[in-house]
A and B are shown apart, each in its own frame.
Chain A
């Protein structure tokens, strides 16, 4: 290599080390190193100042406690690790210390998609926190642990930023200074001073990102808990269904951001129609036994929803 070529190569190497202003503007702030850091990054409380009603609706929903659940989710995550991931011969996980973000995405793909912005230490901290919460007897400590798990949730920024844009080649990539909805313009929040349009936010495909189509083939070991959008696409739509998830779970129910399912009276009324009909028969069986009265009960259940019932 000539001196000239060496200098060009050296300059090229230096250029790679310098910060790129275009990338820096839209790049993430680096991986969160603790649960607290990740929770703070996705904290919804600042949204409450202006969007109080929506915040209160959301606060009542399971999205606000997506890792804790009812609280059935958190123990189920531990079951998935202990009875699944640790037993799989090629997972690389034999003990809690082996758990990484990649392993926890088995559940977090839907329950905490922002976990991909955290270090493996956070994945291990989550598992340790849930396990400590499951064993804790002291009420105060239990409450603190529960609050810590609950701080990890599907908050405003998950839907209105991280997952807001689905067709990224057409609509662009989510920017950290922007919240996405139906409008474009300025947003009165110093951390998120811009509003951008999320074309799919009101469509069923948006919810389908998590309430999915079955096995998540993008994972090394596909989990398959969520099947609703598959049912919506391949059973409801072919039957002539034309409403979106948002139509029923947010608008018609009047629940807004308090998206509910079978626990909500409104949703139950909207979900099923039942009809019961009963009648008697008289069966002339034979000479010995004579005429025998019989009952016939007919039950019809009409599933009015846009997906199978039940579903997880």
Chain B
């Protein structure tokens, strides 16, 4: 998820990963089939909604921000396929 100002300057960026097998208790990736222990399930569960909230501070005089959200399927290393993308403009207005 990335938020930019009208000039394209990145105001905030964050990402969340959902992992096939997950991390062990020491935080190390465990992809090997023989590493069957102490894994956390960090997948998206079937028929469930996963909600992510990103709260961030904006510059004081900003009038509008562009938010883009991309969902990728990562295979290995740097290879990833784009599954979904949405770009939204939202005004920064004090009521």
Are A239 and B53 in touch, CB under 8 angstroms? no
**B71 in the interface (beta carbon within 8 A):** yes
Q: Which B residues are in CB contact (< 8 Å) with A274?
A: 69, 71, 84, 86
Q: Which B residues are in CB contact (< 8 Å) with A72?
A: 75-76
Q: Which A residues are in CB contact (< 8 Å) with B50?
A: 300-303
| B: contact size bracket | 35 or more
Are A84 and B33 in touch, CB under 8 angstroms? yes
Are B56 and A239 in touch, CB under 8 angstroms? no
- What separation, in Å, do the CA atoms of A230 and B35 have in the docked complex? 18
Q: Which A residues are in CB contact (< 8 Å) with B86?
A: 274, 276
Task: Check A298/B53 contact, CB under 8 A, given A276-B69, A280-B93.
Answer: yes
Task: Check A280/B90 contact, CB under 8 A, given A72-B75, A272-B84.
Answer: yes
Q: Which B residues are in CB contact (< 8 Å) with A306?
A: 46
Contact residues of A: prevailing secondary structure: mixed
**A50 in the interface (beta carbon within 8 A):** no
Are A235 and B45 in touch, CB under 8 angstroms? yes
- What separation, in Å, do the CA atoms of A232 and B32 have in the docked complex? 22
Task: Check A296/B55 contact, CB under 8 A, given A280-B92, A311-B43.
Answer: yes
Q: Which B residues are in CB contact (< 8 Å) with A30?
A: none
Shortest C-beta distance, B85 to chain A (Å), equals: 9
Q: Pick the residue among B12, B52, B83, B93 that contacts A299 (CB under 8 A).
A: B52
Contact residues of B: prevailing secondary structure: strand
**A294 in the interface (beta carbon within 8 A):** yes
Closest to A310 in B: B20
Q: Which A residues are in CB contact (< 8 Å) with B19?
A: 310
The contact string, 1 if C-beta is below 8 Å from chain A, for chain B 30-50, is 001110100001011111111
Task: Check A276/B67 contact, CB under 8 A, given A295-B3, A304-B47.
Answer: yes
**A223 in the interface (beta carbon within 8 A):** yes
Q: Pick the residue among A231, A294, A298 that contacts B46 (CB under 8 A).
A: A231
**A51 in the interface (beta carbon within 8 A):** no
Shortest C-beta distance, A120 to chain B (Å), equals: 21
Are A305 and B49 in touch, CB under 8 angstroms? no
Q: Pick the residue among A224, A278, A292, A301 that contacts B90 (CB under 8 A).
A: A278
Q: Which A residues are in CB contact (< 8 Å) with B34?
A: 80, 84, 88, 221, 223
Are B60 and A292 in touch, CB under 8 angstroms? yes
* Number of A interface residues in the complex (CB < 8 A): 53
Are B47 and A239 in touch, CB under 8 angstroms? yes
- What separation, in Å, do the CA atoms of A292 and B11 have in the docked complex? 14
- What separation, in Å, do the CA atoms of A77 and B61 have in the docked complex? 56
**B88 in the interface (beta carbon within 8 A):** yes
Shortest C-beta distance, A110 to chain B (Å), equals: 11
Q: Which A residues are in CB contact (< 8 Å) with B27?
A: none
Q: Pick the residue among A88, A292, A297, A303 that contacts B57 (CB under 8 A).
A: A292
Sample of 30 A–B contacts (CB below 8 Å): A72-B75, A80-B33, A83-B32, A222-B36, A223-B34, A235-B45, A236-B46, A239-B48, A262-B83, A276-B69, A278-B90, A280-B93, A291-B94, A293-B57, A294-B55, A294-B56, A295-B56, A296-B53, A296-B54, A297-B54, A298-B51, A298-B52, A299-B51, A299-B53, A299-B69, A300-B49, A300-B51, A302-B48, A303-B49, A310-B43
Chain B positions near chain A (C-beta within 8 angstroms): 1, 3, 11-12, 18-20, 32-34, 36, 41, 43-60, 62, 65, 67, 69, 71, 73-76, 81, 83-84, 86, 88, 90-94
3 tightest A-B contacts by CB?
A308-B43, A236-B46, A239-B47
Q: Can you name 13 extra interface pairs (CB under 8 A) apart from A88-B34, A235-B45, A297-B53?
A: A224-B36, A231-B43, A262-B81, A276-B69, A280-B90, A295-B90, A296-B53, A297-B1, A297-B3, A300-B49, A307-B46, A309-B18, A309-B43
